[in-house]
Structure 1
Amino acid sequence: MSRRDVIRQLEGHRLTTAEIHYYRLDAPSLLQLFVWQEYDLAPDFPALFAFLEHWRREIEATLHSVRISHDGMIRPTESRAVDGVIDIQ
């Protein structure tokens, strides 16, 4: 994780993942998947909606659905107890 990512988290941004299902014009019967991930602000998701607006303007594909997952907390990494002794001299 970069320093920029930590600063963004302290400002309220949280990791957001979007599953974007779409149809391409050259294969309209084939549903395809694109996964997008970025730090964003809930509940408005400005970065995600800016990306979807770019998609609408620039990419020749029709959106089918978008599923959003959002991690809402800064928390320590998981740790577990280890049975043993470490001698430090």
Structure 2
Amino acid sequence: MLSTLRIPIVQQCNDNQELFVEIKDSNIIETACSLFQNDEYPEEYRTITIQFIEGCCINNCLREFTLKTIKRIGYSEFICIDEDYSAKI
């Protein structure tokens, strides 16, 4: 699934509503956070993963789910999550 990240997630979700369900049912956000934090991966790959996370935070339908996931797994050090689940990336 990470191979689909080259197209902005907002555009993909607008084109394919089933992608919302797949993202929420999978651990793709956790995986993206983990890959972003791993210095062993190439910079380009890490850039794509953070763009995916940013895209999920921008998308109205995925924002709260994404921010709760990031907070739950403890990767909130690179994203400031407010109590109302708005964010500053």
**TM-score (ref. length: structure 1):** 0.27
Query: Hey, which of these two has a bigger chunk of strand by percent?
Result: 1
**TM-score (ref. length: structure 2):** 0.27
Query: Hey, which of these two has a bigger chunk of helix by percent?
Result: 2
Greater RCO (Cα-Cα under 8 Å, separation 6 or more): 1
